[in-house]
């Protein structure tokens, strides 16, 4: 079968086409093996809805044809990234779960500056979505270092599994509504408004954008190519999509990517209870590497 996008204009998906149980099971098995994300049968309708757009883009007529292309004709090698982009959830906000950033500012950063002599502090936003989290981290870091440790610098690595969200994140352009949680003083210093007020868009200032590097990374990979271990890692609201075994594996690799004395932040709905990890809890969903 040739690249299906060539025939995009020639095919349309039947309105009554539905994702069969057999195809759902094949897709969910692949999604789990590739990304660690569990797709129970209860999410069949959700998966079907998200894949309809992918079928329109490729020009493939039915879910049966799409799955045949993926699993019987070798299409999965080309299509995997687009399939995962279609099914991943990317809910994100600036200053989401704000107590994490309060703790980082009030406790963690002072502790890190005292512990480590490196001039550049390293932070990793490991599920960065469209960029709100790493840019929030950049605002907090810039404010803190300017006032408390002007001799220090920082760099933020921001990674995600989805290429779509990474492209959006690199641009640093957001709606006014999405930027609303940014405090007014930070808004003045770190955010630029669109010249055309009707666009209702804002952009993260260049001084922050240059502090954040974006890259695609799969937390299911056996090794995380991040360079030197991090002083702070944020991995929030992604563990909930993994089963216990995968959570253990991912958390172990994250801890190995953290310097002793560094901090790990997870989502407020997540837990490390029952896992054997080299960390101790210092606040709600905040841990310090032993």
Q: How many CB atoms lie within 10 A of CB 57?
A: 13
Torsion of CA 61, 62, 68, 69, to 10 degrees: 40
Tokens of 64: 């049966």
Distance CA 236, CA 157 (A): 15
Q: How many CA atoms lie within 13 A of 25 on its CB side?
A: 3
- Selection from 191, 171, 182, 204 nearest residue 101 by Cα: 182
Q: What's the full length of the chain, in residues? A: 290
Active site includes 56? no
- Selection from 3, 197, 177, 215 nearest residue 94 by Cα: 177
For 123, the enclosing helix (H) or strand (E) is strand 120-125
Parallel, antiparallel or unpaired: strands 279-283 and 286-289? antiparallel
| Owner of token pair 């253990």 | 248
Tokens of 143: 């404010």
Conformational region of residue 36, where left means phi above 0, alpha means psi within -120 to 50, and beta covers everything else: left
Task: Say which of 17, 50, 68, 189 is annotated catalytic.
Answer: 50
Active site includes 276? no
Please spell the DSSP secondary structure of 28-46, one letter per residue.
HHHHHHHH-----GGGHHH
Task: Say which of 65, 152, 160, 289 is annotated catalytic.
Answer: 160
* Residues annotated catalytic, as ranges: 50, 160
């Amino acid at each position: 079968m040739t690249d299906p996008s060539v025939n995009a204009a020639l095919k349309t998906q039947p309105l009554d086409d539905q994702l069969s149980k057999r195809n759902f099971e094949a897709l969910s098995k692949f999604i789990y093996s590739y990304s660690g994300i569990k797709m129970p049968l209860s999410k069949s309708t959700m998966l079907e809805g998200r894949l309809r757009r992918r079928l329109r883009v490729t020009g493939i007529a039915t879910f049966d044809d799409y799955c045949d292309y993926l699993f019987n004709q070798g299409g999965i090698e080309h299509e995997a990234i687009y399939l995962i982009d279609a099914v991943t959830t990317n809910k994100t906000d600036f200053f989401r779960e704000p107590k994490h950033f309060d703790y980082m500012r009030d406790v963690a950063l002072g502790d890190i500056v005292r512990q480590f002599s490196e001039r550049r502090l390293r932070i990793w936003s490991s599920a960065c979505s469209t960029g709100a989290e790493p840019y929030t981290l950049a605002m907090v870091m810039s404010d803190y270092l300017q006032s408390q440790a002007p001799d220090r610098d920082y760099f933020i690595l921001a990674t995600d599994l989805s290429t779509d969200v990474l492209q959006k994140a690199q641009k640093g352009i957001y709606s006014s509504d999405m930027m609303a949680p940014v405090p007014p003083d930070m808004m003045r210093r770190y955010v630029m408004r669109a010249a055309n007020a009707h666009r209702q868009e804002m952009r993260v200032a260049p001084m922050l954008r240059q502090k954040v590097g974006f890259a695609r990374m799969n937390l299911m990979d056996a090794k995380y190519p991040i360079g030197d271990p991090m002083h702070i890692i944020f991995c929030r609201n992604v563990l909930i999509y993994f089963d216990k075994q995968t959570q253990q594996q991912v958390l172990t690799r994250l801890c190995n990517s953290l310097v002793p004395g560094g901090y790990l932040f997870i989502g407020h709905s997540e837990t490390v209870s029952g896992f054997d990890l080299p960390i101790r809890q210092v606040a709600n969903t905040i841990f310090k590497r032993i």
